[in-house]
Amino acid sequence: MTFKEKIKQGIPANLPEKKVYDTSRNHAPKRKEILSDEEKKLALKNALRYFDDKHHAILLSEFAEELEKYGRIYMYRFQPDYKLYARPIEEYPGKSEQAKAIMLMIQNNLDDAVAQHPDELITYGGNGAVFQNWAQYLLTMQYLSEMTDKQTLVMYSGHPLGLFPSNKNAPRVVVTNGMVIPNYSKPDDWEKMNALGVSQYGQMTAGSYMYIGPQGIVHGTTITVLNGFRKIGKPPKGNLFVTAGLGGMSGAQPKAGNIAGCITVCAEVNPKITQVRLDQGWIDEKITDLDELVERVKIAKQKQETVSIAYLGNIVEVWEKFDEAEIFIDLGSDQTSLHNPWAGGYYPVDISFEEANKMMAENPTLFKEKVQETLRRHAKAINKHTEKGTYFFDYGNAFLLEASRAGADVMNPNKELGREFKYPSYVQDIMGPMCFDYGFGPFRWVCASGNSDDLKKTDKIACKVLEKLKEKSPKEIQQQMADNIQWIKGAQENKLVVGSQARILYADAEGRVEIAKAFNKAIKKGKIGPVVLGRDHHDVSGTDSPYRETSNIYDGSRFTADMAIQNVIGDSFRGATWVSIHNGGGVGWGEVINGGFGMLLDGSKAATKRLKSMLFWDVNNGISRRSWARNDEAIFAIKRAMKSEKQLKVTLPNKVDESLLDSLT
């Protein structure tokens, strides 16, 4: 069968051969035992409903074995024998170009070079899944190959509910992930529902088919590191940034440090993913000995090198060793997956990686105790450095939140509303006021042709648009514009592409609209092929997350999710090709609601109309909310937006004289 025929057949009528479990690949850790015997039977019934009953006897024992061995039913037998990667759009079967674009993006998310645990359909973050099992993948791809531009595919946490009649202006796919009743949104609720096969953790861009590899966060991390050094009044050159995590999104940190121009030390406990990042060129060097690491950093400081060093080991060891060796850390953070602390997102110190994985599955209570002990020790080591002048920030991975729950010394002694911790979220002091409040966020595009020349052309188009916009931009956003122009000019030489021919660029609403218009014009003229637009959910409007994206909201609305819900509803009727809304993300199940979109540009007038309408809303919804929270930068940005768009009329806040409030006490 050809590739197209395999896509169109969906779940095969005849059982494929059972796959050999390849231990050399990077697999998800075994999930903890959480189902009762009765619930295990229910999980098996749920899995078998995808298949003709003539196969149930064979598959029952096989799926029961998977559930016992791995804590989940992945249906490895049905993993395709063709390679999963972002093929050129014309190689996909179908009646709808929009549907083909979605197939391309799904396969990119599951590409071995992109996905963290591809065999388990997990893209990043330890549990950020595109689908729960391979039957869902096969059925979804089949539906996409059949659908027309007058149908919409409905996705329930990886499960394709089916094709429904709609219209050509509706989204082709609507995705929800983990949207459970609020009182059932604790970590163990996810473990149980995921094991039953009824809900999944879509992370942010995994379950919305918009992940583009570590590049997706390189730009934001570069901006964060640059502005972090600006905040402490130091140049990056010769100064030290220490952090942890080389998995999915965290794998971008060393590359970002190189682009910013500092010395980066990034610890990682997983030897396989560390080697992958070294082979990909995302880190310069790998060191396994702490004494060797100390000497290497001393040399790098003396020579004022720009270098990224991976330490294969636990980050706690690095913080403690650098304190003992009197290595001064300028910037410090952490990007381990602490949204997922009990299932492989964070590892205890003084226990081997293999031993920890075994304990995680066989003795989860002890594993949790060891993780919390490590968090207390981790925070203690960080505190010693900050007393010497290190600037530490939470990188939105729930480090401070989980450390506080473990009883670590991370609480603000002078507690304020929105400033409960002694260290800020990076959004509070860097990305929020400097980027999000002005409307700047991670705009993305993917060249659906798969042609690297198209990516080079889009880089040039975007740069030209930004340079033109910068000429008339107000002084308040000149630095942001300059940083983005510098980024896009260096994008090719930094070799950021992993998987699809994709790019990320922080831009405001005006920038996004103008860049997209220029792309669509180039497509119409035949200069480039179709382009898929998207963004990270980690953006101005897409995410309500009290300890990350909306941590610089101080009017008491941090724990509301109206913005994210309104965002995805608004995108859906303004022209998005697909929309998604998730519970969970970089800070944990039950801790955040986040939404995203994808949009295909095909050179048509209809695409121009859609992009103008949707991209303007997609950003300004969030600026309006931030403005209402009395954020000065957002008030400036929304007033500017109202001047440019006469149909926009936003409710503005009236400031209250603080002395009036003081008089009450």
- Determine the Cα–Cα distance for residues 544 and 267; give it in Å rounded to an integer: 29
SS3 state of residue 649:
coil
3-state DSSP assignment of residue 448: coil
Q: What tokens were used for 299?
A: 């040399």
What crossing angle do the helices spanning 37-48 and 187-196 adopt, rounded to 10°?
50
Alpha carbons 589 and 551: distance in angstroms, whole number: 17
Residue type, position 563, single letter = M
What number of residues does the chain have?
A: 665
How many angstroms separate the CA atoms of 570 and 367, rounded?
A: 43
Largest Cα span, the chain: 79
> If we measure between CA atoms, which residue out of 202, 195, 145, 160 comes closest to residue 179?
202
- Ligand-binding site membership of 268 (annotated): yes
Contact 443, 507 (CB under 8 A): yes
Q: Are residues 190 and 202 in contact, defined by beta-carbon separation less than 8 angstroms?
A: no
Cα separation, 423 vs 397, whole angstroms: 13
The amino acid present at 175, given as its one-letter code, is V
Q: Which two tokens stand for residue 642?
A: 């109202």
Closest CA to 84 of 134, 22, 155, 12: 134
Give SS3 for 114.
coil
The CA-atom distances, in angstroms, between 9 and each of 17, 145, 662 are 16, 10, 70
> Burial of 627 by CB count in 10 Å (0-12 exposed, 13-18 middle, 19+ buried)?
buried
User: 464 is written with which tokens?
Assistant: 């030209």
For 77, counting Cβ atoms within 10 Å of its Cβ (0-12 exposed, 13-18 middle, 19+ buried), the class is middle
Q: How far is CA 184 from CA 124, 580, 590, 628, in A?
A: 24, 21, 8, 31
Question: Of the candidates 183, 538, 207, 201, which has an alpha carbon nearest to the alpha carbon of residue 340?
Answer: 201
**Rounded Cα gap, residues 618 and 638, in angstroms:** 13
Tokens coding 533: 């637009």
DSSP string, 260-273: HTSEEEEEES-HHH
SS3 at position 52: coil
Nearest to 622 by CA among 607, 611, 633: 633
Confirm or deny that 395 is annotated as ligand binding: yes
Residue 584, annotated as binding a ligand = no
In terms of Cα–Cα distance, which of 48, 372, 22, 345 is closest to 191? 345
Asked whether 461 and 584 are in contact (CB, 8 A), the reply is: no
Rounded Cα distance, 601 and 624, in Å: 27
CA nearest 196: which of 265, 248, 132? Answer: 132
38 is in an annotated binding site: no
Single-letter amino acid, residue 269: V
Is 125 annotated in some ligand binding site? yes
Question: Inter-axis angle of helices 315-324 and 364-386, to 10 degrees?
Answer: 30
The answer to whether the annotation marks 326 as part of a ligand binding site is no
Residues 6+ away with beta carbon under 8 Å from 59? 15, 47, 48, 51, 77
Binding site listing for NAD(+): 125-126, 203, 268, 395, 586
Binding site listing: 125-126, 203, 268, 395, 586
